[in-house]
Chain A
Amino acid sequence: MSMPAAIRNALRAGTVLFLFALIGTAILAFTHGRTEPLISRSQQAEKLALINQVLPASFYDNDLLASRQDLPPDDLLGTRKPSALWIARRGSQVTAVVLEAIAPDGYAGDIALLIGIGIDGTVTGVRVTAHRETPGLGDYIERTKSAWIDQFTGKSLAHPEPRRWKVAKDGGAFDARAGATITPRAVVKAVRNTLDYFARHRAAFVAGPAVKEN
């Protein structure tokens, strides 16, 4: 009678596997339930900390994270999917916006950027949030690696004048390190395009979303 023995073995193995899966799932569900609120709180804080690097906290008194909206994909932003926009206000006055943008022509693909722009069209700060540029060569665009990205702060479409919105090697106003010009070229272009995008949509940013919030 080998069949019943085989079936009994299979049943036993199945039951044990099922029990382990059940215990595993229970433990995971419990851990997830316990950690979820803490994790989402730190993620919010992290996001806010990142935004604060491109937009000084003195610019706003609203709940910045709650002001988030989705922008449709746009060539000037370099986006192929909806990207985020945060609107900073002091009182009822819109003071600045923070935008996600992408430099699509980096040396190794997309460079994701977070750009803060004051309502007067001046850059309040730029940070690279994700990239695959060559380590040790093109990665100086990260703020943790060098202060290169800080040179955008205070710039606007008129300052420097449009034809100088290039890296120094191409006769522009932004310096770049020898050996890696493709990366900074892509970032300079993306920041300029984002400023352009902002200029075109400025009126809508100032007027539109105020109705929606609160």
Chain B
Amino acid sequence: MMTLDEFRSLFQNGLVKQNTGLVQLLGLCPLLAISNNMINALSLGLATVLVMAASSGTVSGIRHFVPHEIRIPVFVLIIAALVTVIDLAMNAFVHPLYLVLGIFIPLITTNCIVLARVDAFASKNHPLHSVVDAVAMGLGLTMVLVTLGAIRELAGQGTLFSGIDMVFGEAAKGWVLHVLPNYQGFLLAILPPGAFITLGLLIAANNWNKARVVRRIRIAVPMTA
């Protein structure tokens, strides 16, 4: 069904070459809104992976029945229905987790990366490949989100994992790392402008790294397909 090479290349695309946060710059609305600490970022990232895998798998499964000209409304319909079903099911069956992730789930509908992958990949490929692609893309986004969240939380309030007790219960309160004791806080990092600035720095670092690699092998490799 799927060779190891295909698998590897899908993951390379999702995590590095076509990273949604750093290269494609898609889905920035939730990326910037929810990255003020690491736990929020990780939660939103994982919820996005779930939604992306479900919608890519579904769309790929019905791709032969959808006329080209109405594919976008059908895909939007499927994504919206799936997000609502996941939202309701989580609310009913895993309520404590829903209290943490609840606000993020409807936000995922606004994330254009879901529709982008569904249209660009899942509508043309086998379900298995589509799900792997969606998971890889989602994990790529999660990686950027968590990095952004960690930097902002550390710069903004000198901690890591604050809010972890909302996921694992009261006992987890002690797991919060106070990396910089008696830190005065740096408000800008926590407020929205901090998200833009930090993301800009991350993109710059990524581009710098790419340019360095290219220079080293002395071949101009086109970065995007």
Q: Is B103 an interface residue (CB 8 A)?
A: no
Interface members, chain B 30-89 (any A CB < 8 Å): 36, 65-67, 69-70, 73-74, 77-78, 80-81, 84-85, 88-89
A135 touches B190 (CB 8 A): yes
Q: Does B205 contact A (CB under 8 A)?
A: no
Q: Which residues of B contact A135 (CB under 8 A)?
A: 36, 190-191
Q: Are A38 and B156 in contact (CB under 8 A)?
A: no
Interface size on B, residues (CB 8 A): 29
A35-B92 contact given A24-B81, A27-B85, A136-B157, CB 8 Å threshold? yes
Contact of A16 among B67, B81, B157, B187 (CB under 8 A): B67
CB-CB under 8 A from B66, the residues of chain A are 16, 20
Determine whether A17 belongs to the interface, using a CB cutoff of 8 Å to chain B.
Answer: yes
Query: Does A32 sit at the interface, judged by CB under 8 A?
Result: yes
Q: Are A31 and B156 in contact (CB under 8 A)?
A: no
For the residues of A in contact with B, the DSSP-based class is helix
Interfacial chain A residues near B166, Cβ < 8 Å: 144
Give 1 or 0 for each of A25-39: 1 = CB within 8 Å of chain B CB.
001100110110011
Is B91 a contact of A134 with CB atoms below 8 Å? no
Determine whether the beta carbon of A31 is less than 8 Å from that of B88.
Answer: yes
Measured between C-beta atoms, what is the minimum distance from B137 to chain A in Å? 24
Chain B's closest residue to A35 (CB) is: B92
A86 to B181, CA, bound (A): 43
Please determine whether B78 and A35 come into contact, CB atoms closer than 8 angstroms. no
Query: Is B27 interfacial (CB-CB < 8 Å)?
Result: no
Q: How far is the CA of A38 from the CA of B69 in the complex (A)?
A: 40
How extensive is the interface on chain A, given as a class? 20 to 34
User: When A16-B66, A24-B77, A137-B185 are in contact, do A39 and B156 touch as well, CB less than 8 Å?
Assistant: no
Partner of B93, one of A17, A38, A134: A38
The verdict on A130 contacting chain B, using a C-beta distance below 8 Å, is no
A178, chain B: closest CB distance, angstroms:
11
Are A20 and B85 also in contact (CB < 8 A) when A38-B92, A135-B190 are? no
Q: Which of B168-225 contact A (CB under 8 A)?
A: 185, 187, 190-191
Which of chain A's residues have a CB closer than 8 A to the CB of B84?
Answer: 28, 31
B8 at the binding interface (Cβ < 8 Å): no
Whether B92 lies near A39 (C-beta < 8 A) is yes
* Interface membership of A12, Cβ < 8 A: yes
Q: How far is the CA of A42 from the CA of B190 in the complex (A)?
A: 32
Instruction: Evaluate whether A31 and B85 lie within 8 angstroms (CB atoms) in the complex, with A136-B185, A137-B185 already known.
Output: yes
Q: Closest CB-CB distance, A123 to chain B, in whole Å?
A: 24
Instruction: Note all chain B residues with C-beta closer than 8 A to A17.
Output: 70, 73-74
Contacts of A34 in B (CB 8 A): 92
How far is it, in angstroms, between the C-alpha of A100 and the C-alpha of B104 when the chains are bound?
Answer: 26
Is B124 positioned at the interface, with any CB of A under 8 Å from its CB?
A: no
Shortest distance in angstroms between A18's beta carbon and chain B's nearest beta carbon? Answer: 10
Nearest B residue to A38, CB-CB: B92
* A35 lies within 8 A of B70 (CB): no
Question: A13 within 8 Å of B by Cβ?
Answer: yes
Of residues 1 to 56 in A, which have CB atoms within 8 Å of B's CB atoms?
A: 9, 12-13, 16-17, 20-21, 24, 27-28, 31-32, 34-35, 38-39, 42, 46
Question: Could you list 8 examples of A-B contacts with CB < 8 Å?
Answer: A17-B73, A34-B92, A35-B91, A38-B91, A42-B95, A46-B95, A137-B185, A144-B166
Supplied contacts A12-B67, A46-B95, A135-B190, 4 more A-B pairs, CB within 8 Å = A16-B65, A35-B92, A42-B95, A136-B187
Which A residues lie at the B interface, using CB under 8 A? 9, 12-13, 16-17, 20-21, 24, 27-28, 31-32, 34-35, 38-39, 42, 46, 134-137, 144
Chain B residues in contact with chain A, CB under 8 A? 36, 65-67, 69-70, 73-74, 77-78, 80-81, 84-85, 88-89, 91-93, 95, 99, 156-157, 165-166, 185, 187, 190-191
